Amino acid sequence: MKKISILGATGSIGIQTLDVIRCYKENFQLIGVTANSSVEKIKEIIDEFKPMYVAMNDESSYYQINNYCTEKKYNTEVFVGMEGLKKVASLKEVDTVVTSVVGMIGLEPTLEAIRAGKDIALANKETLVVAGEIVMKEANKYGVKILPVDSEHNAIFQCLQGNKLEELDKIILTASGGPFRGKNNDFLKKVTVEDALKHPNWSMGKKITIDSSTLMNKGLEVIEAYWLFGCSYDDIEVVIHPQSVIHSMVQYKDGSVIAQLGSPDMRLPIQHALSYPMRLKNIAKKLNFYEMNDLSFEKPDIKTFKCLKLAYEAGRAGKLMPCILNAANEACVDLFLNKKITYLQIPEIIEECMRKFDYLKTVTIESILETDTSVRNYIYGKYN
């Protein structure tokens, strides 16, 4: 029986993780959950799964959940704020922590979980983008596994099994291309929030849906792959594959390509990360090759979708540049969703910040948090 905490249990990945746990009660037990402020969803989770621990980031939500547990005479302990998130990340009862909060807010709880010896089922890619070196070093030091939940990285992880990293030629990250694949700048100028929130293949949280449409999601995934698999940026290639059936591939020195395929359903990589090294029967729809008309591939258009180019640049520059890229992107996506900036301002402002902020300082948790705050303050000050 694997004992699990979910950080960000009320989001798209969190809810799909609950789906997996619900199906395999004999394999997994839910011990702790966290959320920002989704009180009603957390109440439902408490009623169904009776977790021993809950943390709410938002203070008034914490009081509501605390009262609810008292009224219902549940034995659930409720925590608040970042300290609460860290507590649920490091519970002595837990084996694996699913990190499915959105944004670099996941960094500190993820480190706390690693230092408490928990394996990480990692969905929260922003954490690896801003602090990949620190996170991977700590995971190594504490002997914990980082099991990728992101479908591409989960695919690559599977394709690497039983092979030597030294024999790898390149990693091929597939990307759906998002809702604006094939469009030009004239089209993108007029993109509204509603247009950008319509993803062709996946139903996800708002932030990652916008990131998928700008190709920043793929850019963040390139940096995530760099840290997870330790290959150079030259050896990470992005290929647009609109059907999202091939979740990613690796090519070995001899030219052999190994791919992982499956339905576009996040419960597949979530379940793999939770059950690894075992495989369980999946609840997601299986692929039917007779129903598949076409698998197609294209080069990404990085002239139009500049975010992918900026992410490669940030990754190659290293140090605090990925942190600047990520902070700027998180702020820009938020401002775009609140209709304060246009769609095409997203890459413009990110680039402005990459040129403006000093990235050459030593990378520590403090310098990351400091840089993140400075970039956000600058953007909200100028564009809000």
Give me the least distance between CB of 149 and ligand NAD, in Å please.
6
Do 133 and 320 form a contact (C-beta atoms < 8 A)? Answer: no
- Map residues 47-66 to x or -, x wherever contact with ligand NAD holds by CB under 6 A: ----------x---------
Does residue 126 bind ligand NAD (CB under 6 A)?
yes
Binding residue (CB under 6 A) for ligand NAD from 266, 320, 323, 349:
266
Cis previous bond, 148, omega within 30: no
Binding residue (CB under 6 A) for ligand NAD from 11, 51, 84, 322:
11
Do 210 and 307 form a contact (C-beta atoms < 8 A)? Answer: no
Q: At what angle do helices 321-337 and 125-142 cross, to 10 degrees?
A: 140
Does residue 213 bind ligand NAD (CB under 6 A)?
no
Half-sphere exposure of 383 (CA within 13 A, CB side): 25
Note the residue count of the chain. 384
In the complex with ligand NAD, which residue's Cβ is closer, 334 or 357? 334
The one of Mg ion, ligand NAD, none whose footprint includes residue 379, by CB under 5 to 8 A per kind, is none
Sheet holding 96-99, edge to edge: 77-80, 53-56, 28-35, 2-7, 96-99, 119-122, 146-148
Binding residue (CB under 6 A) for ligand NAD from 45, 65, 88, 123:
123
Pairing of strands 257-261, 246-252: antiparallel
Sign of the four-CA dihedral 376, 378, 381, 384:
negative
Residue whose C-beta lies closest to Mg ion: 150
Stretch that binds ligand NAD, among 101-109, 250-258, 316-324, 325-333 (CB under 6 A): 101-109
Give me the least distance between CB of 75 and ligand NAD, in Å please.
23
Residue 285 has what DSSP assignment? P
Give me the least distance between CB of 340 and Mg ion, in Å please.
27
CB count in 10 Å sphere of residue 287 = 12
13 marked ligand binding residue? yes
Does residue 248 bind ligand NAD (CB under 6 A)?
no
Task: Report the run of H or E that residue 214 belongs to, with start and end.
Answer: helix 206-214
Do 222 and 238 form a contact (C-beta atoms < 8 A)? Answer: yes
Does residue 36 bind ligand NAD (CB under 6 A)?
yes
Does residue 224 bind ligand NAD (CB under 6 A)?
no
Residue 203 backbone dihedrals phi, psi, to 5 degrees: -105, 115
Do 189 and 344 form a contact (C-beta atoms < 8 A)? Answer: yes
Does residue 158 bind ligand NAD (CB under 6 A)?
no
Residue 286 backbone dihedrals phi, psi, to 5 degrees: -85, 155
Tell me the residue type at 118: K
Give me the least distance between CB of 120 and Mg ion, in Å please.
16
Binding residue (CB under 6 A) for ligand NAD from 119, 150, 224, 334:
150
Stretch that binds ligand NAD, among 64-72, 202-210, 283-291, 363-371 (CB under 6 A): 202-210
Do 47 and 21 form a contact (C-beta atoms < 8 A)? Answer: no
As a whole number of angstroms, the distance between CA 21 and CA 4 comes to 9
Does residue 13 bind ligand NAD (CB under 6 A)?
yes
Binding residue (CB under 6 A) for ligand NAD from 64, 90, 100, 326:
100
Residue whose C-beta lies closest to ligand NAD: 11
In the complex with Mg ion, which residue's Cβ is closer, 112 or 150? 150
The annotated binding site for Mn(2+) is made up of 150, 152, 221
Which residues lie near ligand NAD (CB under 6 A)? 8-14, 35-36, 38, 57, 85, 100-102, 105, 123-126, 150, 202, 204-205, 207-208, 266
The annotated binding site for NADPH is made up of 10-13, 124, 126, 205
The annotated binding site is made up of 10-13, 124-126, 150-152, 176, 199, 205, 212, 217-218, 221
